[in-house]
Amino acid sequence: MSVVQIEDLRGLLALGEHRHVTDAAAVLGTSQPTLSRLLSRVEAELGARLFERDAKGVHPNPLGDLVLTAARDLVDRHDRLRRDLAGLLDPESGTVRLAFLDSMATSLVPRILHDVREQAPHLRVELRQEPGHEILRDLAAGVAELALTSPRPPGPYGWLALQRQRLTLIVPAGHRLAGRRRAQLADVVGESFVTIPSGFGFRAQVDDLFAAAGVTPQVDFEIGDLATVEGLVGAGLGVALVPEQFAGASGTIGLALNTPGAERVVGLTWRTDRPMSPAAVRFRSFVEQAGPYD
């Protein structure tokens, strides 16, 4: 009884991508007859014709599309398993799965990766850039082992604070507040306010600050990226609260806030209810030694 192997699935995926036996065989480093026999064997094993042959090459039919989707998932799972095992067996060259907030993509993340690379040049870091709620989902599912996020998540999470970011009120050039150095949250009353959508950790912090000050902002624009928030303010579409490093990128003016707790604490987090791979433990240790990143 024959069994479809992972390498057979890689052959199908190559055929599905290149649509020609000769080209796919060259990519796989095998011969055209060998790949043709592979396709025939897999079709016989599955009991279905998967590719249509013509003068131009091979093309997946609907059954082939179904098999290719499953093959891609199986190959991805197999490769992830191999990477995970490599991480367990060799922390020097294993893979660390790191998730991080979009707003850290051009600042904190490059600094951390630079420091880690100097200490462990063969350590592989698999990056996932996504919103905070997706980060927690991926940590819970084991898709990510470590994450750079804010605020500290509740539940079974470890936390290493790395950076304190002061929040500032940004206004467009020429705004009535642009000549001031400091502001209060009450100053945004009646202004169009630009911010992150509900459900994001930063939005929850902004809402809490306004609630504590007894102020209800007039939210006119919501976008899940702080750099875009700053750009909308620079275009004159409103005012916003952002970490101070975002101020000025699009000509906005930053005003310091007379508001207690107006800062964002960014940290490294991980699940404490399951073991981490030695590679992830090593990565965390390097970050702890190199930090904080204020």
Q: How many domains does the chain have?
A: 3
**106 pLDDT higher than 90:** no
Last-in-domain residue among 89, 104, 121: 89
- Structural domain includes residue 1: no
CATH number at residue 260: 3.40.190.10
Q: What is the 3-state secondary structure (H, E, C) of 105-144?
A: CCCHHHHHHHHHHHHCCCCEEEEEECCHHHHHHHHHHCCC
Sign, Cα dihedral of 145, 97, 70, 8: negative
Tokens 């699935």 belong to residue: 9
Q: Both 218 and 252 in a single domain?
A: yes
pLDDT band at 1 (very low <50, low <70, confident <90, very high): very low
**121 pLDDT higher than 50:** yes
- Structural domain includes residue 200: yes
pLDDT (0 to 100) of residue 2:
59
pLDDT (0 to 100) of residue 94:
82
- Structural domain includes residue 212: yes
The answer, as to whether pTM is greater than 0.75, is: no
Greater confidence, 201 or 109?
Answer: 109
Neighbours of 168 (CB within 10 A): 24
| Inter-residue contact 213 to 169 (CB < 8 Å) | no
Instruction: Give the helix ranges, DSSP H, for 19-107.
Output: 21-28, 32-46, 62-89
Q: Both 186 and 145 in a single domain?
A: no
**91 pLDDT higher than 80:** no
Last-in-domain residue among 68, 89, 110: 89
Task: Write the CA distances from 145 to 140, 249, 267, integer angstroms.
Answer: 9, 32, 14
pLDDT band at 55 (very low <50, low <70, confident <90, very high): confident
pLDDT band at 262 (very low <50, low <70, confident <90, very high): very high
**197 pLDDT higher than 50:** yes
pLDDT (0 to 100) of residue 240:
98
Q: Both 172 and 208 in a single domain?
A: yes
Q: What is the pLDDT of residues 206-229, one digit of tens each?
A: 999 999 999 999 999 999 889 999
pLDDT (0 to 100) of residue 188:
94
**186 pLDDT higher than 60:** yes
**79 pLDDT higher than 70:** yes
Which of 280, 243, 253, 273 lies closest to 95, judged by CA?
280
CATH number at residue 75: 1.10.10.10
Q: What are phi and psi of 183, to 5 degrees?
A: -150, 165
Q: What single string gives the DSSP state of each residue in 226-290?
A: HHHHHHHHHTTS-BEEEEGGGTTTTS-EEEEE--TT-EEEEEEEEESSSPPPHHHHHHHHHHHHH
Last-in-domain residue among 28, 61, 89: 89
Q: Both 152 and 204 in a single domain?
A: no
* pLDDT (average), residues 161-173: 95
Secondary structure class of 177 (helix, strand, coil): coil
Q: What are phi and psi of 62, to 5 degrees?
A: -55, -40
Q: Both 57 and 82 in a single domain?
A: yes
Amino acid at 1: M
Q: Both 231 and 271 in a single domain?
A: no
pLDDT (0 to 100) of residue 139:
95
pLDDT (0 to 100) of residue 90:
76
For 4, residues 6+ apart whose C-beta sits below 8 A from its C-beta are: 42, 45, 46
Percentage of the chain with pLDDT > 70? 98
Q: Both 236 and 168 in a single domain?
A: yes
Q: For residues 183 and 177, give the distance between their C-alpha atoms in angstroms, rounded to a whole number.
A: 8
pLDDT (0 to 100) of residue 161:
95
Q: Both 154 and 189 in a single domain?
A: no
Q: Both 76 and 125 in a single domain?
A: no
Residues of the domain holding 64? 6-89
* pLDDT (average), residues 84-93: 74
- Structural domain includes residue 184: yes
* pLDDT (average), residues 56-73: 92
